[in-house]
Amino acid sequence: MDIVEMIKELVMVPGVSGFEEPIRRYLLEKLKDVGPKTDKVGNIYVTLGDGDEHVAFMAHMDEIGFVTTHIEENGYIRFSPVGGVDDRMLYGRLVEIFTERGIIHGVIGLIPPHLSTAEDRKKLPSWKELAIDVGARDKKDAEDMGLKPILPGRWKKDFIVMGKYIVTRGIDDRAGCAVLLELLERIKEKELKKKVTFVWTIQEETGLRGAEAMADRMDFDEVYAIDSMTSGVMPGVPFYLSPVKPGEGPAIRFVDRRGVSCSVLKDKVLRIAAKHGIPVQLAITGGSTDAAAVFTHGIRALPICIPVKYTHSPVEMSHVADIKNTVELLEKIVED
């Protein structure tokens, strides 16, 4: 399968952080021929090869979203964000709530200009002020639809190929998941000089919890977290805050809010990329990745990230060449 189509499939499968079961089932089905395993918290991993050196590649399977918290007497649904959700992406959105009976659609309604003042329209309501309208007459009607507290939900997604770019919610980090699937497919029949483990982690968006659990029990020598990195190429943003450009190669996310990554691995990856003519960027940004959780366990770790514009929004945007070059780079790391 073409990697763009693979990302599209992955993006559309639900997997809100802490509620990853649908995306976990999807990945286990994809991996059934290579003997996938799951740990006690729900991470998936596959190990190939043998040898003294043990290298791991991680990508997180979870995504940001929300969880229902309460049903009002009038049938409106209150909710709480899960992960790094910006209040600006909430207002006037179509959402999906995942129930035991299937998907229930709803809207976070926008108060129309006919009913608001100019001053009202300057305000940005927080999630605490908003509710989801599922078309219910009252609380009982909503409950009869299968709605209740503690159900995961997310914003309804589109997937657009826009020239050399893909645009969708969830490139972070379903593109990383696809990169690992593609890399595994390329190397699974090869005779490997080292042990290589592929890991799809849970709950990265809510505290790097899956990576923390995996690093605590595995004998990795080095770990590469395959994730996204926000690009500063957009109007109104100083580029230096996150100086990577889509289309110019995967980014070594060497410094972020959780600290500095492993300089030994940084130098190694830069050497491999230069040797094989693979474009790579080196930069600093905000946020964090699974690499930080691994690093705290005394394991060499480095994030290799796909540049993404408009991260954690419904219109995340990434250059297809960066995704393909990420696969190429990881394959050379395995062979090194």
Whether 3-63+169-335 and 65-155 share one fold: the answer is no
Given a cut of 80, whether residue 158 has pLDDT beyond it is yes
Q: Which residue has the higher pLDDT, 151 or 216?
A: 151
Q: Is 316 designated active site?
A: no
pLDDT tens digits, 162-197 = 999 999 999 999 999 999 999 999 999 999 999 999
Options 204, 205, 212, 316, the catalytic residue: 204
Given a cut of 90, whether residue 113 has pLDDT beyond it is no
Beta carbons within 8 Å of 75's beta carbon, 6+ residues apart: 134, 136, 137, 138, 139, 141, 142
pTM for this entry: 0.95
Q: For 231-235, 268-272, 275-279, 317-321, which range has the lowest pLDDT when averaged over its residues?
A: 231-235
Phi and psi at 188, nearest 5°, equal -65, -25
Q: Which two tokens stand for residue 144?
A: 């009869």
CATH code reported for the domain at 65-155 = 2.40.30.40
Q: Give me the pLDDT at residue 25, please.
A: 97
Report the interhelical angle of 320-335 vs 263-276 (nearest 10°): 100
Q: Give me the pLDDT at residue 116, please.
A: 74
Nearest to 63 by CA among 159, 152, 158: 152
Phi and psi at 118, nearest 5°, equal -60, -35
Q: Give me the pLDDT at residue 122, please.
A: 75
Given a cut of 90, whether residue 221 has pLDDT beyond it is yes
pLDDT tens digits, 75-98 = 999 999 999 999 988 988 999 999
The domain spans of the chain are 3-63+169-335, 65-155
Q: Calculate the average pLDDT of the chain.
A: 95
Given a cut of 90, whether residue 218 has pLDDT beyond it is no
CATH code reported for the domain at 3-63+169-335 = 3.40.630.10
Phi and psi at 218, nearest 5°, equal -115, 150
